[in-house]
Each structure stands twice: as structure tokens, then as C-alpha cells.
Amino acid sequence: MLNLFSIALANREMIFDKFEAMLTDMPEHTVSLVREFASWVLAESLISINTKLYIVMDLINGGNYKSMYSWAEEQSRLSGRKAEEVLRERLGHYYEKRVMFDRAFEKGERFVYGALNAGGVALTSFDQYCVVLKSSFQSGVEKTGEIACLPGDSLKIGFSNNDLFDLSAIESAVAPFSERHRLTASVRGREASIVEKYEWPTLIASAVRYFEVILIGEISIDSVDCVRLTKEEYDTKWDLCFLNLGSKRNEAERALVNDFIQLRRAELDGRVKVEVLR
């Protein structure tokens, strides 16, 4: 069975060469901007995971972030249902591809999926809450070597148009985390040279584009730098919790209220930093 992280490490020189080759036909001013962009990515980017509020609360209350397979095993233990059945239900139409990808690699069932983030809430098209991990957590995982980057969604890069698993596409695209700055600059560098610098974070992660990070590691609240969410999401939950307090709520709304109030308490108590972004 193949080791994704070893493949990524073997691509280090290729990623470096691709980046340098891209610069050879650029004007000097553009080269300077692209190199500055790469340096900025190396200095500013962190790993983020977009997830649901109740998972944020599980972290705050002492739980660990679970891979999909660990979550399915826990659900199986609690419910008596087969873990594979639970996993298939959770993943829906992504099940076949996700399982095929993960099980092609050593320790694939322990993979945690995130994205590079250099500001903003990023992948809110997936989930509304962005857990940004600390640089110390990032450094710790780098030391284990069990972390890699892809220039996009592994389920798009790793599968052909007829949904066949394309290992060679992954092998040629995956990069070691240490080369994340050159990977991102190779893909977005030309754009970075023509937009304002305040827009650079959106070149790293936006609602439609991102650089996927795959890692193995234990993520707890001690790993979390901050939780980010949009002002729209924050205001919606704030109003639900603290306005019209005499109104009747259904069970789903009560659960959301409870979770958001716990998040607000944790923020006020200094247990987690919350960043609300416009």
C-alpha cells in the first residue's frame, strides 16, 4: 500500500523546479511580486477545517476532532449499526470516491482533511464555522512528516471524468507541506501579481477554490488558534439566541441556541478566540 506523505516528500524537488521555471518568462517586477506572495504564504498560512457548530462545541468541551472513520466507529458503538453503513449514510454520494481514495493509502482511514488559510472564513460552502489551527500544532505535524498539500479537492484531482480513481494524478500533484508556498505560488502566482495584496487571502481559500491539506494528527481545543465565522452567520445565531426571548422554538432551534450560547460563554471565558468576519 502506498504512503501519500512519502509520495509528497519525493515531489519536493519537482515543486521547487516548477516554481522556478514559471518565473523565467516573467518580467522582473512580476517575479518580485510572485516571490513576495510565496513568502507571505509561508509566513501567514495556517491549516483550517470548516465544520459545524456542534463539532466546535465538542472540541471546546474536551473532545477531539475525529476522522470520518473514527466518527462512524463511535456511532456504531452507540447505535449498534454497522460502521460502514453509518459511513455510507454520512458521506452520501461522496462515499464511493472518498473511501476509494482513503483506502488506497497507508493509514488512509486516519486522514484529516483541511485547507490552507491565510485569512477569512474560507470554505463556508461546506460548513459555516472555520476552525483555524495553531502554528505550533502545524509545526508538530510537520515534524511527524504526516502532512501533505494538494492544489484543490482530492476527489476532483484524483478521479477521471468517468469517476475512475487516477493514482497518477495524485502522485504528480501532491506536495510536501514544506513546499506549500511554492505550490500555491505556482498555481496562483500570476493572479497574485495583478490583484491588490489585501485580496491575497482569497487566492489561498475562497468559497470555490482552495488548497487541500491532508494530515494525521490529534486535534483538540489546545490545537485551535481561533474559530472564524461570517458576520451574517454570527448575527443570525445571535438574533435566534438573544432576541424575541419569549417566542417558542422548535427542538432544532433550541439545540442551536444551546450550542451558540456555549460558544459565546467559551469566548467570554477566554477558552476560545472567536473572529467574526464581514
Residue 255 is assigned to a structural domain of this protein: no
Residue 274 is assigned to a structural domain of this protein: no
Residue 100 is assigned to a structural domain of this protein: no
Helix (H, G, I), strand (E, B) or coil at 149: strand
Residue 105 is assigned to a structural domain of this protein: no
Q: Is the pLDDT of residue 247 over 80?
A: no
Residue 141 CA, chain-centre distance (Å), reads 15
CB 240 within 8 A of CB 256: yes
- Residue 166 grid coordinates: 487516477
Q: Is the pLDDT of residue 248 over 80?
A: no
For the chain, give the mean pLDDT: 93
What is the pLDDT at residue 251?
Answer: 84
CB 83 within 8 A of CB 90: no
User: Largest alpha-carbon pair distance within the chain?
Assistant: 66
Q: Is the pLDDT of residue 246 over 70?
A: no
pLDDT digits (tens, 9 = 90+) for 184-194: 999 999 999 99
Residue 206 is assigned to a structural domain of this protein: yes
* Rounded Cα gap, residues 215 and 159, in angstroms: 20
Q: Over pLDDT 90: what percentage of the chain?
A: 86
What is the pLDDT at residue 107?
Answer: 97
Gyration radius from the chain CA atoms: 20
What is the pLDDT at residue 245?
Answer: 67
Residue 187 is assigned to a structural domain of this protein: yes
Residue 275 is assigned to a structural domain of this protein: no
Q: Is the pLDDT of residue 5 over 80?
A: yes
Q: Is the pLDDT of residue 244 over 80?
A: no
pLDDT digits (tens, 9 = 90+) for 111-164: 999 999 998 777 666 788 999 999 999 999 999 999 999 999 999 999 998 889
What is the pLDDT at residue 205?
Answer: 92
What is the model's pTM? 0.93
Number of domains in the chain: 1
The long-range contacts involving 24-27, CB below 8 angstroms and separated by at least 24 positions, are: 26/193
Q: What's the average model confidence in pLDDT over 55-59?
A: 95
Domain that holds residue 15: 4-67+111-228
Residue 188 is assigned to a structural domain of this protein: yes
